[in-house]
Amino acid sequence: MARGETYEEFTAKFEPKRTTDDCYTPPEVYDCVLRWAHREYGFDLAKVARPFYPGGDYEREEYPQGCTVVDNPPFSILSKIVKHYQERGVGFFLFAPTLTCMGIRNCCKVVTGAGVTYANGASVNTSFVTNLDPAQARSAPDLRSELDAAIERLRREKAKALPKYEYPDEVLTAPMLARYSKYGIDFRVGPQECSLTRALDAQRVQNKAIYGSGYLISERAAAERAAAERAAAERFALSPRERDVIASLG
């Protein structure tokens, strides 16, 4: 380890870096897209292919006669993938980034602009490209509506699943800073006042962690954070009527 480097910072260097090319599609989102595409274009569900998986090679994949590829490919080579399928007469309905999909040639752009958060945490404004549609570009209001509903269900499930932990003043997390920003509180810590941590020792023994990591902060910074928490607390004032009620109580 480098001098002054924490264990968490050292091990983080060896974790695989994920990009938007590693867009592991939530099953609920994929199922929503597959249902719509099947309803719209009527292909054989028994002949749907998904060649884009870790270690897969779409160019060497065997595509049976009459199959349709419905999948989320690496966006960085999407034009190459579309060209490959068009040259071989393979039907496809592929996820695509909304902002750049219009530049992909020789296919229909089905633009939904759905804000999909993929299983790796990458958030991508998502549309689709296909050779199953005679249009050059089109909207798809019903697909967008169905995707929005699926995305909202996932968001609610995730919100329920995330554990709610109370941390001591000496711990700082991103949600804390986000709350301070929301309530107009200027809070900051310097590099010498904090140390990265992914879990407190008390959490490790229970196989738990700080969601998204956090910092252990100095006693001075902790005192300021405690003051920030008090300032950020949403308090409701008593009305004159309520004060009269309180005054009348024995």
pLDDT digits (tens, 9 = 90+) for 168-177: 999 999 989 9
Residue 18, pLDDT above cutoff 60? no
Residue 17, pLDDT above cutoff 50? no
How many Cβ atoms are within 10 Å of 54's Cβ, its own excluded? Answer: 6
pLDDT at residue number 21: 47
- Tokens of residue 72, six digits: 């989320």
Which numeric CATH code is attached to 27-160? Answer: 3.40.50
pLDDT at residue number 4: 61
Give the gyration radius of the chain's Cα atoms: 25
pLDDT at residue number 61: 93
Cα 122 to Cα 129: distance, rounded to the nearest angstrom: 20
pLDDT at residue number 5: 59
Cα 31 to Cα 44: distance, rounded to the nearest angstrom: 15
* Exposed / middle / buried, residue 82 (Cβ in 10 Å: 0-12, 13-18, 19+): buried
Average pLDDT over the chain, rounded to whole? 87
33-37, 173-177, 230-234: the lowest-pLDDT one: 230-234
Cα 81 to Cα 67: distance, rounded to the nearest angstrom: 16
pLDDT at residue number 16: 42
Could you tell me which residue, 198 or 54, shows the higher pLDDT? 198
Nearest residue to 29 (alpha-carbon basis) of 140, 155, 139, 137:
155
What average pLDDT score do residues 36-59 get? 94
For residue 2, what pLDDT band results from cuts at 50, 70 and 90? low
Residue range(s) occupied by CATH 3.40.50 in the chain: 27-160
Could you tell me which residue, 122 or 176, shows the higher pLDDT? 176
Could you tell me which residue, 84 or 17, shows the higher pLDDT? 84
How many Cβ atoms are within 10 Å of 157's Cβ, its own excluded? Answer: 11
For residue 250, what pLDDT band results from cuts at 50, 70 and 90? low
What average pLDDT score do residues 150-177 get? 85
Cα 239 to Cα 246: distance, rounded to the nearest angstrom: 11
What average pLDDT score do residues 73-98 get? 96
